[in-house]
Amino acid sequence: MLLKVVAYSKESKIALHRTRGLYFLVTCIWQGIKIVGIILIVAGALGLAYSSFSYTKDTDAIKVGPVEMTVKEKQTVDIPVWAGAGAIVLGGLILLLFGKQTKLNRVFLSKYIEQAFI
């Protein structure tokens, strides 16, 4: 059994660590972009399914000395159909463009990240 001993220079070790770190950073950004696309699709589908939602809001009506009266108001928020459909389309485009990480995409993104950090 032969052991191959390779001596790396300090510069090549730094370059290797920089490349691995850059690859990890690009992968994390890529996964984050895909998660944003999925969240947009889910939010758009919920917006289309439930066209409005309501919540209760407590407001102080009267304060006289130690006596307080509060009123519960029911608020309703309408979600436009175009907002739900737009979120689904935008999320789909994000997943279409960033769905599969190819070597070309990784190199393209890593060049911009490398320029930003150097």
What pLDDT, in 10s, does the model give residues 69-104?
788 889 999 999 999 999 999 999 988 887 776 666
pTM for the model stands at: 0.64
As to burial, measured by CB atoms within 10 angstroms (0-12 exposed, 13-18 middle, 19+ buried), residue 37 is buried
* Domain boundary assignment for the chain: 27-117
**Where residue 106 falls among pLDDT bands split at 50, 70, 90?**
low
Q: Which residues contact 75 (CB under 8 A, 6 or more apart)?
A: 54, 55, 56, 57
Ranges of beta strands (E only) in the chain are 52-64, 67-78
